[in-house]
Each structure stands twice: as C-alpha cells, then as structure tokens.
Amino acid sequence: MWKRILRSEYIRNTFTLVSGNAIAQIIPLLAEPVLTRLFPPEDFGLLAIFISISSLFAVIATGRYELAIMLPSKEKQAINLVGLSFIVSVLTSIISLLVVWIFNKPICYLLNSENISNYLYLVPLVVLFTGLTQTLNYWFSRRKQFRKVSIARIVQSSTSAGVGVGTGVLRMGTIGLISAQVLGSVFSAFYFLQRFFMADRDKLNDISRREIKSMASKYAEFPRVNALYIFADTAQYSGISFLIAYYFDTILLGYYSRTFRILTVPLSFIGSAISHVFYQKASEIYRKGGNLRRFSLQTLLGTISVGLPIFVIIILWGPELFAFVLGKPWREAGVYAQILSPWIFMKFISQPISQIPMIVNKQKIMFLFSIVGIILIFASIAYGGLIADNLETGFYLVSVSQTIYLTIFIYWLIRIAGKKVK
C-alpha cells in the first residue's frame, strides 16, 4: 500500500506543494512575533487597508484566464492563454493606477484614513506583478513543475518577511510594511520570468494575435463569470477591513488583520497546495469521464482530518497563544481568533473542492452563492458597528452565519461533482 501511495503522482505533487508552502508560511510566521514588537497595531491596520485594496484588483488582474491554461489539450493554445493573461494584467494595472489617482481622496475619506493616501500609488505595481505570478504559476503547474511553484512562494514570503523585519529595525513605520508586501510580489514574479525564459522561451514563437483572440473567445466564461466570483469572494475579506476601518479604527483593524493572517495560514500553505493539485487532477479526471465525486469526497475528508486539530487548539487556547507568541498587547487578537475559527475552518475544507464549478461549468450558480456569502458577512459586521457598537458581536454573527452557509455550499459542490462530461 505504501509503495502504491509513494508511486502516486498526485500524492508526490501535493507533497511538493505542501512542503514548499509550509516553508513559505513558516518564514513569515517566525517573523510575526518580531514584527508585532517592531510595529504598532495602527501600522498593521494601514497595511490591511493597502492589501485589501490591492487584492480587489490583483485577483482579477488576468481576467482569470490563467485558470484556463490548465485546460487545452494542445500546448500552443496554452501558451497563447499565457500571452492573453499577460496582456490583461498590464491593462488591469493601468486601470488600477487611474482609479487610485482619480479617487484617492474619496477612498481615504471612506476608509477614515488619510495616512493611506500616498501608499495607494503602489497598488498598480502589486497588481501587475501578481498577474505575472498567477499566470506563470499555472503554466508551470500545467507542465507539472510544482517545485518551481513552491520556490516562487518561498521567494515571495522570505522577501516580505526579511524586508519587513529590516525596515522595522530601522523604524521606518508603515512604509516598511507596505514595501515588504510590494517587493515580495516583485521578486516572486522575477523568479518565474527567469525560469520561463530559461526553459520555455521557444514557446513564445507560437503566440499570435489570431490565436489569442480565439482563446479569449473560447474561454470568455472565465472573465465573464469566474472573475466576478473571485472578485466577490475577495470582496468578503476586503470588505470586512473596510467596514472595520469605517465603523471602528485602525487599531482594531490591526488586531483583526493579524488574527486573520494567522488563522489563514493552514488555508494558505495546506489548502492552496491541495487546491492547486486538485484542480489539475480533477480537470484530468473530468475530461476522461472518471469519478470526480469520489475524488472530491476523498479530498474533502483529507482536508477535514488535517485542519480539525489546528482549529480546535485555537478555539480552546486562542487568547493565551496569541499573547504568548505575539506579546501581551495582542491577546485581543486571540479572542477574535476563537470567535472566527469555525468560519475559517469551513473555508479551509471547502477551498480545494470549490474549483469544481469551473470544471463542470457551473460558475454562474457559484457566483450567486458568493453574493449570498458577501451579504451575510457585511450584514453581520454592519450590525456590530451600527447597532451593537461592538466588533466581537459582529464577528460572532459572521462565524455562525458562514458556518451554516458553507455547509450548504459544500453539499452543493459534492452534488454537482457527479455531473458527467459531455
């Protein structure tokens, strides 16, 4: 049995990404206790606003065409999707520059933070280099070169952590944290570009305007529907930061940002690795008419067995753990972690199989699901700010409503996984 497991390409690829992601997440985790002692919560609050705004553009930087790179049977079509994704990334970064330039003051006013003004002009850089990283990430995944994907993530996290600690020692303040975020994206993209030109430069000869137009039309569902879905999904997290900044202040936002950052570590290095390999393998199973539902259930049970012990520990000892690791002033962040853990756990176990609608072409219904999730989250935080005047109350409502919502969502995903390819 063990020989059969070790021979499994799926297991080997998953292990490669999980181990790479583990290193990529352990580095900033080790830096976290240092950063929380070098920077006050207000700086983390401003960083959270910057990341939230950048993410809204970055997740749709490529129009989601990078997801389609996995799907064509011909390599020529895949490389033209790479070219298409790059073009869309450049256009999206230009649009983001225009938005932060024209609406700079209104954005600062709505978020109750004048200090974020100058940093907004760094958003287009994050958008462009994130788009490049996402595109080449899926190109190398298609070619099953998962080691390069893992190394790119390690480069990004180590750069961000190193620059963050260095600027903290130099007492540079908010600009240090934001520079670390930007440079992490830049170095990761440059690593991918270097590897691409070393190994696959000849593929660029297959890119043509005609083929790019053909791919844009063939996979138009990705920007039309999937981009809306992922934008809505990201808006959940960005919207929470915006509402906290609006109803409360950057100090509480700083506590929340560290809470969410640490809670989503399993989501980042385990969940995303499983998701990456799941999407490649599930697409292959579906194309060949295999049993996608069984494979999806196996993946779901695997993520539950991995994630449950982690989140149980946080629910039981969250405040004590945060106070010990980050310092006593951050005990409040541990209280938030206790409250939000059920929601993040459900998000963790649903993440890999949430790609099923893209495979079986049920993206429109998935988008409707995401809209419901956003409404529930925003209503919960708004209640905590407008009526209860208590952020913890809002978080309790988020956790309960999202646990119920994601249970229904997972049930639907398993059901549609039984759909056969036409």
Q: Of 89, 70, 55, whose CA–CA distance to 149 is shortest?
A: 70
Sign of the CA dihedral running 362, 364, 365, 366: positive
Number of domains present in the structure of the chain: 2
In one-letter notation, the amino acid at residue 313 is: I
Task: State the number of CA atoms in the 13 A half-sphere of 362 facing the CB.
Answer: 21
- The answer, yes or no, to whether residue 362 has pLDDT greater than 80, is yes
- The answer, yes or no, to whether residue 232 has pLDDT greater than 60, is yes
Sign of the CA dihedral running 329, 335, 337, 340: negative
Of 21-35, 177-191, 229-243, which has the strongest mean pLDDT? 177-191
Question: Among all chains, which residue has been given the structure tokens 């549609």?
Answer: 416
- The answer, yes or no, to whether residue 229 has pLDDT greater than 80, is no
Q: Which two tokens stand for residue 65?
A: 């065409």
Quick one: pLDDT at residue 155? 92
Q: Specify whether 294 is located in the same domain as 207.
A: no
Listed residues 152, 184, 219: the one ending a domain: 219
Q: What single DSSP character describes residue 354?
A: G
Task: State the number of CA atoms in the 13 A half-sphere of 389 facing the CB.
Answer: 0
Listed residues 219, 248, 269: the one ending a domain: 219
Q: Please tell me whether the overall predicted TM-score, pTM, comes out greater than 0.75 for this model.
A: yes
Q: Specify whether 386 is located in the same domain as 322.
A: yes
Q: Specify whether 272 is located in the same domain as 392.
A: yes
Q: How far apart are CA 384 and CA 319, in angstroms?
A: 21
- The answer, yes or no, to whether residue 176 has pLDDT greater than 90, is yes
Q: How many helices (H) and strands (E) does the chain have?
A: 19, 0
Q: Specify whether 209 is located in the same domain as 328.
A: no
Q: Specify whether 175 is located in the same domain as 299.
A: no
Q: Specify whether 149 is located in the same domain as 36.
A: yes
Q: Specify whether 62 is located in the same domain as 209.
A: yes
CA–centroid distance for 102 within its chain? 27
Listed residues 203, 219, 235: the one ending a domain: 219
In one-letter notation, the amino acid at residue 19 is: S
Q: Specify whether 239 is located in the same domain as 170.
A: no
- The answer, yes or no, to whether residue 88 has pLDDT greater than 90, is yes
Q: Specify whether 290 is located in the same domain as 201.
A: no
Quick one: pLDDT at residue 384? 93
Q: Specify whether 372 is located in the same domain as 340.
A: yes
- The answer, yes or no, to whether residue 133 has pLDDT greater than 80, is yes
Find out whether 303 and 317 touch, Cβ atoms under 8 Å: no
Quick one: pLDDT at residue 266? 63
Q: How sure is the predictor about 149, in pLDDT bands with cuts at 50, 70 and 90?
A: confident
Q: How sure is the predictor about 397, in pLDDT bands with cuts at 50, 70 and 90?
A: very high
Per the structure, the complete domain to which residue 207 belongs is given by: 1-219
Task: State the number of CA atoms in the 13 A half-sphere of 319 facing the CB.
Answer: 6
Q: How sure is the predictor about 159, in pLDDT bands with cuts at 50, 70 and 90?
A: very high
- The answer, yes or no, to whether residue 421 has pLDDT greater than 70, is no
Mutual angle of helices 123-142 and 75-102, in 10-degree steps: 170
Question: Among all chains, which residue has been given the structure tokens 């003051």?
Answer: 105
15-36 per-position pLDDT tens digit? 776 677 778 778 888 888 899 8
Q: How sure is the predictor about 94, in pLDDT bands with cuts at 50, 70 and 90?
A: very high
Q: Specify whether 36 is located in the same domain as 145.
A: yes
Quick one: pLDDT at residue 60? 87
Q: Specify whether 82 is located in the same domain as 228.
A: no
- The answer, yes or no, to whether residue 59 has pLDDT greater than 90, is no
